[in-house]
Amino acid sequence: MLGTGAREHALVTALAADPDVSSVVCAPGNAGTAALAEPREVDQLDGGAVAALAEDVGAELVVVGPEAPLVAGVADALRDKGFPTFGPSGAAARLEGSKAFAKEVMVAAGVPTAGSWHVAAGDDARLEQVLADLPAPYVVKHDGLAAGKGVVVTDSLREATEHGRGHDVVVEEYLDGPEVSVFAVVTDAGITPLLPAQDHKRVGDGDAGPNTGGMGAYAPLPWAPPGLVDDVVAQVVRPTVAEMERRGTPFRGLLYAGLALTAAGIQVVEFNARFGDPETQAVLALLDSPLTQLLLGTAPPRWRSGSAVTVVLAAPGYPAAPQLGGVLTGPLDAPGVLHAGTRRTGAGEVVSSGGRVLSVTATGTDVADARGSAYDLLARISLPGGHHRTDIGLRGVNP
């Protein structure tokens, strides 16, 4: 397993529980993954170094968690050396690595998405012209990977223009409607969609404040229209996979469709080329069959009934200026506590080392039940100055 977040801790947990898996290594991992998976240091962006580590540990399957190594071609380096790898090639990961490329593929494939304009860095006159012709709110996205800081959605024409100036950007029409995430595992055997989930991107309750990497999630979505997942596969995933095939850059791995359910139907907000964090923690909590069978496409997944809710605990100051090094206390090794930015000190304390510190995930008969258990678990963990949202999953209660 390559990566270090709560998503990786969730994946490691599922791999460690898989009867076909004898041992797990997580590079670099965190204080939580270390209980289940041997920690190893590696430069995640260096395909040669990752392949050398895979060789050293005799890896039979390498799962690449984050987007940056995928876009850097780490999965190619692994497959070139003969290691079975879950994660798309660098060419296919461009669906996440370049917003302009993703739009080009969607248009070619006839996938429903917001109208968009690609503006080259420095072409300020065109940027101003494109924005002037659109109504507010304005959506301006930096073309490349930006670790969650590349997108503004704003009513201010000045802010939108400032965000775009000097960058290669995609300007988009605004999509109005609830957002959902649908993950699909794409293998040679075909497309397998997972349970739909909803992320909570803004830092504060009621979706107030700036965007974050994600403050919580729940799955599945009791209010989702019937047939949503089948419609997403038919209208979005299948045509996109076919178009990538046609281009000679087949997509194999996890295709994450970020969607808005608008009055005009399903519209793609974005693609990612890997499992999403924090939705993965909720979705995998409901997986009742071996993860490797899902990733390798050898058997369809089985799901537990009920719901799962994930709540993220963030460091003080996150997202703008997280203060790290706070000491965590409580049941840090309890089932459902999934570490992200944590590390164990020489003295044996667990301290925060990232803006999103950990997440707690609980399952229940419905969203209300799972929410109750997740918040009970979180209440037993303390981090001085740490903060979390209190309304994760509320939309799924009494839908």
Q: Are 70 and 96 in contact (CB under 8 A)?
A: yes
Interacting residue with Mg ion among 272, 310, 361, 363 (CB under 5 A) = 272
Q: Is 296 exposed, middle or buried (0-12, 13-18, 19+ CB in 10 A)?
A: middle
Q: Quickly count: other Cβ atoms within 10 Å of residue 367's Cβ.
A: 26
Q: Cβ closer to Mg ion: 93 or 261?
A: 93
> In angstroms, rounded to a whole number, what is the distance separating the alpha carbons of residues 74 and 238?
25
> Mind giving me the DSSP string for 63-132?
EB-SHHHHHTTHHHHHHHTT--EES--HHHHHHHH-HHHHHHHHHHHT--B--EEEE-TT-HHHHHHHHH
| Interacting partner of 151 out of Mg ion, ligand ATP, none (Cβ under 5 to 8 A depending on kind) | ligand ATP
Q: Quickly count: other Cβ atoms within 10 Å of residue 4's Cβ.
A: 25
Q: Cβ closer to Mg ion: 76 or 199?
A: 199
- In a 13 Å sphere around the CA of 344, the CA atoms on its Cβ side amount to 13
Q: Cβ closer to Mg ion: 66 or 196?
A: 66
155 Cβ neighbours under 8 A, 6+ residues apart: 136, 137, 138
**Interface with Mg ion includes 76 (CB under 5 A)?**
no
Q: Cβ closer to ligand ATP: 43 or 179?
A: 179
Minimum distance of ligand ATP from residue 137's CB (angstroms): 7
> In angstroms, rounded to a whole number, what is the distance separating the alpha carbons of residues 251 and 244?
6
| Interacting partner of 141 out of Mg ion, ligand ATP, none (Cβ under 5 to 8 A depending on kind) | ligand ATP
| Interacting partner of 371 out of ligand ATP, Mg ion, none (Cβ under 5 to 8 A depending on kind) | none
Q: Cβ closer to ligand ATP: 83 or 138?
A: 138
| Interacting partner of 375 out of Mg ion, ligand ATP, none (Cβ under 5 to 8 A depending on kind) | none
**Interface with Mg ion includes 270 (CB under 5 A)?**
yes
Residues of the shown chain interacting with ligand ATP in the complex, contacts defined by CB under 6 A: 114, 139, 141, 146, 148, 150-151, 153, 172, 174-175, 179, 201, 211, 258, 269-270, 272
Minimum distance of ligand ATP from residue 264's CB (angstroms): 13
> In angstroms, rounded to a whole number, what is the distance separating the alpha carbons of residues 151 and 371?
29
Binding string, residues 213-252; x marks residues near Mg ion by CB under 5 A: ----------------------------------------
Q: Quickly count: other Cβ atoms within 10 Å of residue 334's Cβ.
A: 11
Minimum distance of ligand ATP from residue 272's CB (angstroms): 5
Stretch that binds Mg ion, among 134-142, 195-203, 268-276, 285-293 (CB under 5 A): 268-276
Radius of gyration of the chain (CA): 20
Q: Where would I find the H helices in the chain?
A: 6-16, 47-57, 67-71, 74-80, 90-97, 99-109, 124-132, 157-164, 228-232, 238-246, 279-285, 291-296, 367-379
Q: Cβ closer to ligand ATP: 272 or 310?
A: 272
| Interacting partner of 65 out of ligand ATP, Mg ion, none (Cβ under 5 to 8 A depending on kind) | none
Minimum distance of ligand ATP from residue 201's CB (angstroms): 5
Residues that bind Mg ion (CB under 5 A): 270, 272
